[in-house]
Amino acid sequence: MYSFNLPLFLIFIILIVGIWLWKRYTNERPHGNKLPPGPKPLPVIGSLHLLGKLPHRALHKLSKKHGSIMSIRLGNVESIVLSSPDAAKLFLGDHDADVSSRPKLQVAKYLSYGIKGMAYTEYGSHWRALRKLCAMEFFSCAKINATADIRREEIGKTLDEIRGCSMKNEVVNLTEMASKLIGRTTFKTLFGRKDYGGSTEFMKVVHDVGSVLFKHNGKHE
């Protein structure tokens, strides 16, 4: 039978705190590089508590205090926030190749066959092959033109629907209409089927993917 053992419990707590302190002071800067200024993180949650309900506004306020290149720890993920055109140009233009890879998130591992998908794969030869494939097979002018009818038809239907609502003085839920439009168009473009009976199911998958994508994610390495 187990009984509560106070000394053992205290040793356990001290061990946990010790590991945390050790990690914090040894691992925080994995390459020995200094991070840009930013808010002091708390244990475990980092600076997540500062984001609030409107993260974009919270980050804007923080950047006024810490500068347009700011570091912020979200949980255990160290992030850099850029909030001026010059900072963005520095990263996305001058140092593009250094920051082209995406973080290896758990969600990408499970959703895209172990990070093989176009959006999350590492910058390198596989990425270049994918980009070439997409540019030639999906986004070429001829391919885009070939599916123009689908978009024309679906946009026409949506406009008719809005017109119908306005005749009847009904409120239009644009979120719902836009998401249906995008869902049906994408479904028809991808699967080429006349009936999009499956598009509701397809949209549910898209929504589910979206909701896990925007949750807080751990790195899988």
Ligand X SMILES: *[C@@H]1O[C@H](CO)[C@@H](O)[C@H](O)[C@H]1NC(C)=O
| Chain positions contacting ligand X, by CB under 6 A | 141-142, 145, 173, 175-176
User: Would you say 97 or 142 has its CB closer to ligand X?
Assistant: 142
* Residue 181 Cβ vs ligand X, minimum distance, rounded to whole Å: 13
* Residue 176 Cβ vs ligand X, minimum distance, rounded to whole Å: 4
Q: Is the dihedral of CA 115, 214, 32, 87 positive or negative?
A: positive
User: Would you say 10 or 174 has its CB closer to ligand X?
Assistant: 174
What angle do helix axes 174-191 and 148-167 make, rounded to 10 degrees? 160
Q: How many Å separate Cα 151 from the centre of its chain?
A: 26
User: Would you say 79 or 186 has its CB closer to ligand X?
Assistant: 186
Cα distance between residue 73 and residue 121, in whole Å: 23
Q: Residues 60, 69: contact at Cβ < 8 Å?
A: no
* Residue 146 Cβ vs ligand X, minimum distance, rounded to whole Å: 8
- The DSSP bridge partners found for residue 46 are 42, 74
* Residue 190 Cβ vs ligand X, minimum distance, rounded to whole Å: 20
Cα distance between residue 91 and residue 84, in whole Å: 11
User: Would you say 40 or 215 has its CB closer to ligand X?
Assistant: 215
